[in-house]
Amino acid sequence: MCGVFGVHAADRDVSRLTYFGLFSLQHRGQESAGIAVSEQGRLTAMRDLGLVTQVFDEQKLHGLRGEIAIGHTRYSTTGSSQWSNAQPLVQHGSARTVALGHNGNLVNESLLREELSAAGVTLRSTSDSEVIAALIANDEAPLLDAVANAMQRLDGAYSIVALSEGKLVAFRDPHGFRPLVLGRIHDDWVVASETCALDLVGAEFVREVNRGEAVVIDESGLRSVQAVEPSSPGALCVFEFFYLARPDTMLDGIEVHGARLRMGERLAREAPVDADLVMPIPDSGTPAAIGFSRATGIPFSEGLIKNRYVGRTFIQPGQELRKHGLRMKFNPLPEIIAGKRVVVVDDSIVRGTTARARVVNLREAGATEVHLRVSCPPHRFACHYGIDFPDPEKLLANQMPMNAIAEYLGADSLGYLDLDALVRATGLPQNQFCLACFNGQYPAPFDPTLDKHIMERRQSREGTLAQEPDTQPSLFALA
C-alpha cells in the first residue's frame, strides 16, 4: 500500500516537490518516509521512521539537492517496521548503485534472495524491495535492459520508482496490481502512485505507466520498453477504489469519489433500512454515506468527529497499536446521535476491531439503533499482493456467518455491498480487477507459507539478522 513519487527537473527544487508529493500520499503509508536525490549522478538519501512531516524539515530538505528525486511512504507488508526497511533503500552493486522505492509485494522473494546470496550479494534488510534493487544493481547490462531483466524474474505486485546513473526509473508489474502514473510540469516529468500527487505539485496527468512497462527519464527525455507482456486480464486492486486511494484520485480514468458515491447508492438499494440518520465512518466512508443518504432520503450528518492527527488504524503495524489508535481517533456527537436510529456507513470491515468499538461508542452516545452498512463485500481471503491481511483466521467474515458478525459487532443489522454491484459502481469491467480477497481467485501464483515477518524469523534462526545502527543515521551520501 506504500506511496511512491519521482521527479526529473533540472531547474526545480526536486526535494521540495517530492516532499509535497509524499505529503499527498501520506495515506498510503505512515510507518516511515524517505527521499533520495541525484545530483549529476551522485546519490544522497534520507529516510527515517515516522510521517513525512516528522522525517523532514527545512534544513534537511535544503541538504537534498539535485536534478532528480524519488520519495517513499511505507506501509509494511514484507519486513517489519524498522529503520533498515525504510525506503528509498540504496543498493551498491557490481554494476551500479540504485536507490529504490517500492509499492507492492513480491511472492517469489525468498527464491530470489537465495539466488542473490549464492551469488555473493549481501542483503541487509528484511524487505522484498531490496531484492529488486539488488537485481538491477548487479546486472552488467545497460540500465533499462537491467530493469527489464529484473522484471522478467519478479512475481507479484510492484509499482516502483528508482534512481541510478543520473536517471529516473519507473516500472510496473504486468498485472497492474498497484497504480502508477506519469505527469508533466511543462517539460519536466513526474511519476506518482496517484494522480492527487500530480495535482498537488502542479503537474498535468499524461498517462498511466502501462502494465509490464519500464520507463527511464533523463535529460534527453522519456524512453520506455514493454519489458514484460501485460497479463490479460488486468488485476488492479479493487481495495484502491473503496478504501486506499484518495477520493480526488483518478484510477483508470475513473474518479474515486464518484465511484464511492455510486457504491453508497447501490448499497442503499441492496440493504435498505428504516432509520433517522445516515452517518459515515470518516474519511473513506463519507462518499458512500452521502450516496446512501441520497438514495434513501434519510438525512446525512457527521456523527463522529475524527482526530485527523491520528493515522489510519487499519495500517498500523500491530494490533496493539491499532487498539491504541482507535481510542484516540473518533469522538461521537451525542446531540446528533442521541435518540436516533443510526445507519453507519463504513468502507470495509476486515478484522472487526474498529467496527465493534464504534458501535459501543454510538450506543454510549445515545443511539437507539445502530445499523452497519459496508460499501464492499465481506473479506474472506488473504491478500498476497500488498494489503496487510495475510491470515484468513484474522478476517471476521472468514470466521463467522453474516448473522453472527452482526451480533459480534453489537449492531442491530449488517449489510454488505454485493461484489457485482461494487464492480459496477467503479465503471470498469470486472476482469480489470484483482478480487481475490473477496472471491479467492488469485491472478498470480503465491507461496501460502509466506507472511510479513518470515525474513526476520529466518534470519533470527540463522543468526544473521541485520543489526540497526546504534544511532540510526537518516542522512547519508553515496558516490
Residues taking part in catalysis: 2
Instruction: Classify 364 as helix, strand or coil.
Output: helix
Note the maximum CA span of the chain.
Answer: 70
Contact between 36 and 99 under an 8 Å Cβ cutoff? The reply is: yes
The candidate with the shortest Cα–Cα distance to 112, out of 139, 134, 89, is: 134
**At 49, is the secondary structure helix, strand, or coil?**
strand
C-alpha cell at 15: 526535494
> Cα dihedral sign for 44, 47, 53, 57?
negative
Cα distances from 447 to residues 150, 351, 382, in angstroms, run: 20, 23, 12
289 near 279, Cβ under 8 Å?
A: yes
CB atoms inside a 10 Å sphere around CB 269: 13
Interatomic CA distance for residues 91 and 380, integer angstroms: 38
**Cα distances (angstroms) measured from residue 295 to each of 25, 242, 268, 418:** 31, 18, 6, 17
| Phi, psi (deg, nearest 5) at residue 27 | -65, -20
Give the phi and the psi of residue 123 in degrees, each rounded to 5: -115, 130
Structure letter (DSSP) for residue 92: E
